[in-house]
Amino acid sequence: MEDNFDYGAVPYNFAHCFNDRCPKGEKCLRHLVAVHSTDLHSIISVVNPKCVPEEVNICPFYKPVRKIRVAWGVTHLLDTVPHRDAVSLKNMLLGHFGRAMYYRFYRKEKYIAPEQQEYICRLFRQKGITEEPVFDSYTEEFEW
């Protein structure tokens, strides 16, 4: 189990599983969330026990505990890029992610997932920029 689990990071409406007899429970994110649930929320989303199949090896609710490396912040992403390319890249990022999401990345309110990081890398390569994009920081987060 995760010793430093932050229940506050659990997305709203993420289904909890309280099935203590499940053989996959130790490796299931839904069970991990249930074990670490707190009394701060009186109403939570729970997997209906009547819908859990008898054959637990094919449980449709199973979600493996997996962490991903995410990036935070784009405040210096374009600092070393030539101005003409920086303006174009920023417009492409705004067009793809939308203004609200781009500025959530900028203010570090939302992490940049690996697929989004790869998209930004592809944009750099399309512009002929050989250096990898550098984000403000990186962390390991659960893949919800």
pLDDT score for 3: 63
**Predicted confidence band of residue 55 (pLDDT cuts 50, 70, 90):** confident
Nearest-angstrom CA–CA distance, 96 and 5: 33
Residue 28 tokens read as: 């299931």
State yes or no: pLDDT of 105 exceeds 80: yes
Q: What is the DSSP string of 89-125?
A: HHHHHHHHH-HHHHHHHHTTSS-B-HHHHHHHHHHHH
Q: Which of 27, 36, 35 is nearest to 8 (CA)?
A: 36
* Per-residue pLDDT reduced to its tens digit, 61-70: 999 999 999 9
User: Residue 88 to residues 10, 48, 59, 95, 124: CA-CA distances in angstroms?
Assistant: 36, 49, 47, 10, 10
Q: Is the pTM of this model over 0.85?
A: no
